[in-house]
Amino acid sequence: MDKLGIIAGSGRFPLLVTQEARRMGVEVVAFGIKGVTDPELEKLAGSVKYFKLGQISAPIAAFKEAGVSKAVMAGKVQHASLFGGVMPDMRAAKLLMRVKDKRTDTILRAVAEEFAKDGIELIPSTTYLSHLIVREGPLTKRAPDAAELSDVALGWRAAKAVAGFDIGQTVVVKDGAVIAVEGMEGTDACIRRAADIARSQGQQPALTVVKVAKPNQDLRFDVPIIGLDSLRVCADANVSALAIEAGKAMIFDHDEFVRRADEQRLAVLGLGAQGPETKQ
């Protein structure tokens, strides 16, 4: 592949994909969303064309004109934006009338089908970042202790159930009880909310966070990601253990993340497809 189209949301994800693709000699054709995409992408990609959230025809036409046959979606678009501020073009409006529900995955799969009709394949957004994918097993010097591992097991079951309904992918647990479930607010806000709840009861948090992929996670969009910002939130919330599904999630700034987690005495664990092993 000598050309890659990028549809860029917010955050560092599009920047990292662009950097790695360019490093591999791939020409990048970037599309961004005004007020959402990091302007730094313009420096990395050379130029960025912008479109409004809800437009499908414009990026498809531009990619075809540039000779792009493969593209990735990378970066966040806040789920809350689905409730306002979106002006779909005619093609998007017809798509929204056809879909069976308005869940994120349903809409994005329909968008992928629209791109495919014009010869543009949406590929997994992890394609150029495989080195950041979480591996199975302990990632830090300290592994979760027995109590933390028990909370991880509960969090795994709860998070998988919630993720199956496309609600959220993160659950926060303390002493065998689910304290908070991620909604549209995102992982960091969920962790802060859990800490506030624990402290409101006069307790020191000592929380366990579990982040998973959806049961049928489509790696073309919405890959579970954790990074240094979330690590700082974990420190503020007194999170003692963090478990992330291996093979389907990514850690940005991996080596620095692990180094800082060790400094925090945070146990970080990559979970296999069957979840954690606990002793009965």
Residue 275 pLDDT greater than 60, yes or no = yes
Residue 174 pLDDT greater than 90, yes or no = yes
Using CB atoms within 10 A of its CB, is residue 115 exposed (0-12), middle (13-18) or buried (19+)? buried
For residue 259, what are its two tokens?
């180094």
Mean pLDDT value across residues 51-61: 86
Domains within the chain, CATH numbers bracketed: 3-122 (3.40.50.20), 130-271 (3.40.140.80)
Q: Determine the 3-state secondary structure of 119 from DSSP.
A: coil
Mean pLDDT value across residues 29-41: 91
CA distance readout (Å), 29 to 44, 68, 105, 142: 11, 8, 24, 43
Q: What is the pLDDT of residues 104-129, one digit of tens each?
A: 778 888 889 999 999 999 999 899 99
Q: What is the pLDDT of residues 225-274, one digit of tens each?
A: 999 999 999 999 999 999 999 999 999 999 999 999 999 999 999 999 88
Lowest mean per-residue pLDDT among 41-50, 89-98, 249-258, 267-276: 89-98
CB 54 within 8 A of CB 33: no
Phi then psi for residue 167, to 5 deg, are -95, -55
Q: Greatest CA separation found in the chain?
A: 61
